[in-house]
Structure 1
Amino acid sequence: MSLESELELYRQRITTDSYPMSISEIANLYRDGEMDIHPEFQRIFRWSGAQRTKLIESVLLGIPLPSIFVAQNEDGVWDVVDGVQRMSTIFQFMGVLRNDEGVLVEPFVCEAAPFLTSLEGVSYEPFEGASKSLTRAQQLDFKRSRIDVKIIKRESDNRAKYDLFQRLNSYGSIATPQELRNCLLVSLSRTHFDWLQNLAGSEDFKQVLNLPGRLIREQYHIELALRFITLRMLPEEKISSIGNIGEFLSAEVLSLVEKGDSEMRAEEEAFSATFKILNESLGGDAMRKLNPVTGRTEGAFSSSAFEVLALGLGHFAPSGTSAADVVQARETLWNDPAFAPGHATGQRADQRMKRTIPYGRRLFAV
């Protein structure tokens, strides 16, 4: 295929528009529910007070801001793809920002800025937490400042939106790759995001994983739920070509949002059956290594245990596997010299999974 042919093909996949809008117009869209900046993201992408103050200073000085990118969803609402923190800062300064429960967030009060040192303690409108506020004329100047809005129209396909999200992501420091995937998933389908979160929040699943609070805060349990869904039925020949597991999971978000109701119910049934039997048989020790000498579990969460036991059992779920079968499978796993302590030390996830996932399927094969 020639370059011109490829250009023509991929230009058809994404339809865009662009025009400048005043901050007042954008704020009205947000108030009316016609723009979604996803309050879920605000817990992930946080600017310091100095960063937020610098943005407000730039608006007041008339310094052009970078374009924001929005994707038009099926309802015509604009999902902010790039510019979440900028818009959150502006809306909070104006006193119109709401959290994920729909409650107004306390307005932002500026700190001393690089040029406008008198901004310290200034709010948009008078309120108790500020020492002073913008004048009426300054408020109007602020509201009339314009921002260029790039719009990815709803006829663009999800893969194009995914590519754009990956390329344009400039929200700042991201704690974990899964948090970025969560943001991507919310942008593509809130329904599928909520569904994945509900799976990851199930009691059996949390009991079996037995993860420390830090990993829960970093959304690792959601990543493991996504791994289960994407890997449990993956053909063995494809397991060997996964490559970087993080990139694989991010790409699989696209496949996830294409699942229909019947597929989601089937996945949920397999997920529930798998972690119910694991919890009943092994509880919080299920994903820890079993010392074959002492007969005791030790260490923290084991990826090998998850790939062998959870994915192996999940491949056949729901099935007639008993609690005794699960206990026996774990003993077989950790008594196998191939899985002696240190067997996966320094090994990339995709290299490890070439062995662990097929091994687990053989253990639970009926």
Structure 2
Amino acid sequence: MNAEERPASLEEELVAARKEISTDSYPMSIGELTNLYRDGELVIRPAFQRLFRWDSDQKSLLIESILLGIPLPSVFVAQDNEGRWELVDGLQRISTILQLQGLLTDPHFPPLVLSATKYLKHLEGRTWAKTPNSERALSEAQKLDIKRAKIDVKIIKRESSESTKYDLFQRLNSYGSPLSAQEVRNAILVGVNPAFVEWLQSLARRDSFVQTTALPDKDVSAKYDEDLVLRFLWLHRATDTSTASLRQFQDRLEAEALSMARRHESDAAELERVFSETFDLLASAGGANVFRKWDAQRARFSGGFLNTAFEVIAMGLGYRIARRETFRTDILAAARELWEQEDMTTRFATGKATEQRLSLMLPKGRVLMALH
């Protein structure tokens, strides 16, 4: 067996994997990090900044910790090709510090007004500077204490691969973070192509998509609408829909998302054409009913949004539109036929894994939505 045929040893895998990521680490004061942000050398992408969602008590507890000298966890940044640092992990902490100083550009986050904490009851109502609405500013000594407090900064150097940066962000945010899969995805995609993320979000806000999916507020807050858009953009044109090709579905979706972000400028117009035409047709044909289950006994659609119906109806129709082939326009009739098929009860109800379900539903939709 020659070297090319011999399976890699653990040590060889370690050597290869370590080449994928290059890091550095050193402590910086809050004042230094603040200056980097002011100078545009520490970047918080707009789509990432919208994930900032600590409440006033959580923010005040962080400031209490800084004032008491309690060490803060490390923050992670990724160096871009221009040498700037893009925030990868530590959004809540860094954004709180910037909001306290009145430096966040997002109008949803005015300068922070602190709340009383367990050890510092007199933080109540305190601000960084005196304002017409607040005369209870922190003292100059207290502000210097904050500026001089240290945070350990882990730097992912620019020679590291994008996929490795993505994987690192996922891992960091699996340790107790409440971010959804799509929020994590967006946070790293903005470092690849922020225009792609803004575009993805604009598709999720399209009236016809909102009308047909009719997702509850909690799902929209967790960016599940954007997750569905991303799934549609990939799967409506997937050439291989076998279970094997869809295995480790979340990893595949993330890889496809990165690929789409890189090709955004060349692919966006055609993808938007297919997306818009598909959901405009679905909205005009039946609105939210197209993604609900048909209740034959009551002769009506009932319940809420179902992934199964989305995968069959939307992706089946999108497949035909993308290929510029004829398709059915009696969409509600097609939706009823879907649920009247004998295999739908067992296939729908047995809780199959995502890749198993998709390998069944995607081909079904392509046949169902064809004009016979």
Q: TM-score, normalised by structure 1?
A: 0.86
What corresponds to 1:324 in structure 2?
Answer: 329
1:97 aligns with 2:101: no
State the Cα deviation string for residues 259-286 of structure 1 (Å, max 9, x = none): 2422333322322232233234333322
- Which of 33, 49, 54 aligns to 1:47? It is 54
Match of residue 353 from structure 1: 358
Structure 1 residue 306: Cα displacement: 0.9
- Checking the alignment, whether the CA contact within 8 Å between 2:21 and 2:161 is kept in structure 1 is yes
**Correspondence 1:279-358 to 2 at 5 A:** 279-292=283-296, 295-318=299-322, 319-324=324-329, 326-340=331-345, 343-344=348-349, 346-358=351-363
SS in 2 for 1:69: strand
The partner residue of 1:227 within 212, 225, 231 is 231
Q: State the match for 2:3 in structure 1.
A: none
* Aligned 1:147-158 pairs, distance under 5 A: 147-158=151-162
Any unmatched runs of 5+ in structure 2?
A: 1-7
Question: Quick check: 1:242 aligned with 2:246?
Answer: yes
Please, which moves more after superposition, 293-302 or 236-245?
236-245
Change in Cα spacing, 1:278 to 1:47, as seen in structure 2 (3 Å) is closer
Map of 1:28 onto structure 2: 35
The Cα of 1:173 is off from its aligned counterpart by 4.7
Q: Secondary structure at the match of 1:317?
A: helix
Conserved 8 A contact 1:126-1:132: yes
Structure 2 CA distance, aligned partners of 1:10 and 1:35? 27
Distance 1:115 1:215, change over 3 A: closer
Q: Against the structure 1 CA distance between its residues 62 and 355, is the aligned structure 2 distance closer, same or farther, given a 3 Å change threshold?
A: same
Name the SS for the 2:291 alignment partner.
coil
Q: Deviations over 1:82-112 (max 9, x none)?
A: 111111111122222221xxx4833223333
Question: Is 1:107–2:114 an aligned residue pair?
Answer: no
Deviation sequence 1:322-366 (CA, Å, 0-9, x none): 553545533432331222499435444333223211211222457
Assess if the C-alpha contact under 8 Å between 1:162 and 1:254 holds in 2. no
Distance 1:330 1:240, change over 3 A: farther
Task: Say whether the 8 Å CA contact 1:37–1:87 is kept in structure 2.
Answer: no
Matched, 1:203 2:216: no
Structure 2 residue corresponding to 1:218, chosen from 218, 222, 230: 222
- Code of the residue aligned with 1:10 in structure 2: it is A
CA distance, structure 2, for counterparts of residue 258 and residue 215 of structure 1: 27
The SS at the match of 1:147 is: strand
Taking a change above 3 Å as real, the CA distance of residues 113 and 330 of structure 1, as seen in their structure-2 partners, is closer
8 Å contact kept, 1:277–1:323: no
Query: Is the contact made by 2:83 and 2:158 (CA closer than 8 Å) also made in structure 1?
Result: yes
Q: What is the RMSD computed on CA atoms of the aligned residues?
A: 2.9
Deviations 1:30-81 (A, max 9, x none): 1222222345445544334333223222322333322211112344432211
Distance 2:43 2:87 in 1: 6
Query: For the structure 1 residues 23 and 104, does the alpha-carbon distance in structure 2 shift closer, same or farther, using more than 3 Å as the test?
Result: farther
Is the CA contact (8 Å cut-off) linking 2:321 and 2:327 kept in structure 1?
no
Could you tell me how far apart the structure 2 residues matched to 1:104 and 1:219 are? 18
Q: How many residues of Structure 1 are paired with residues of Structure 2 in the alignment?
A: 363
- Find out whether 1:163 has 2:170 as its counterpart: no
Task: Give the aligned partner of residue 275 of structure 1.
Answer: 279
* 3-state SS of paired residue (1:105): coil
User: Are the structure 2 counterparts of residues 43 and 260 from structure 1 closer, same or farther at C-alpha, using a change threshold of 3 Å?
Assistant: closer
How far did residue 193 of structure 1 move? 0.6
* Cα-to-partner distance string for 1:162-209 (whole Å, 9 max, x where unaligned): 111011227965263323322232243212111211222222322332
1:123 equivalent to 2:130? Answer no
Q: Secondary structure at the match of 2:364?
A: helix
SS of the counterpart of 1:25? helix
The reply on whether 1:181 has 2:185 as its aligned counterpart is yes
Report if aligned partners of 2:77, 2:153 keep a CA contact under 8 Å in 1.
yes
1:323 to 1:110, Cα distance in 2 relative to 1, 3 A: same
- Distance (Å, rounded) in 2 between the aligned partners of 1:178 and 1:206: 17
Distance 1:343 1:5, change over 3 A: closer
TM-score w.r.t. length of structure 2: 0.85
Instruction: Determine if contact 1:81/1:187 at 8 Å carries over to the other structure.
Output: no
Rounded Cα–Cα distance in structure 1 between residues aligned with 2:241 and 2:289: 31
TM-superposed CA distance for 1:146, in Å, is 2.4
**Would the alpha carbon gap of residues 327 and 115 (structure 1) be closer, same or farther in structure 2, given more than 3 Å must change?**
closer
Contact 1:97/1:104, CA 8 A, preserved across alignment: no
Distance in 1, Cα, partners of 2:81 & 2:283: 39
Please tell me whether residue 60 in structure 1 is matched to residue 64 in structure 2: no
Report the equivalent of 2:4: none
Indicate the larger mover: 177-186 or 188-197.
Answer: 177-186
Say if 1:27 and 1:295 are closer, same or farther in 2 by CA, change over 3 A.
same
Distance 2:231 2:90 in 1: 29
